[in-house]
Amino acid sequence: MKASTFVYPWDVNGDPGAAARIAGLGVRQATLASAYHSTRALTPRHPRHRIVTARHAAVYYPAGPRWEGRRLRPYAAGDWAPGDAYGAAASALAEAGLDVHTWVVLAHNSRMGEEFPDTSVVNAYGDRYPWAPCIAQPDTRAYLVDLAVEAAVRPGAGGTELESLGWYGLTHLHAHDKTAGVALGDAGQYLMSLCFCPSCRDGCTELGLDPDELAAAVRRALEPVWRGEAPAGGWEAVEKLLGAELATATRAWRDSVARSLQSEAVTAVRAAAPEEFQILLHADPASYHSGANAGVDPEHILSVADGVVVPCAGGPGLLTPFAERGVEGSVLAANFPVVSGMGGSPGTLAQDVARAVDLGATEVRLYHAGLASDEDLSFVTETLARFG
CATH fold of 2-173+278-387 reads: TIM Barrel (3.20.20)
Tens of pLDDT, residues 242-296: 999 999 999 999 999 999 999 999 999 999 999 999 999 999 999 999 999 999 9
Given this model, what pLDDT does residue 335 score?
98
Average pLDDT of the chain is: 96
pLDDT tens track for 67-125: 999 999 999 999 999 999 999 999 999 999 999 999 999 999 999 999 999 999 999 99
pLDDT tens digits along 24-39: 999 999 999 999 999 9
Average confidence (pLDDT) over 359-369: 97
**pLDDT recorded at residue 387:** 87
pLDDT in tens, 7-23: 999 999 999 999 999 99
**pLDDT for residue 176 is more than 70:** no
Decide if pLDDT at 127 tops 90: yes
Q: What is the rounded average pLDDT of the residues 348-359?
A: 97
Q: How confident is the model at residue 328 (pLDDT cuts 50, 70, 90)?
A: confident
Spans of all domains in the chain: 2-173+278-387
pLDDT for the residue 254: 97
Q: What is the pLDDT of residue 30?
A: 98
Give CA separation, 186 vs 170, 200, 225, 281, in Å: 11, 21, 11, 22
Q: What predicted TM-score, i.e. pTM, was given to this entire model?
A: 0.97
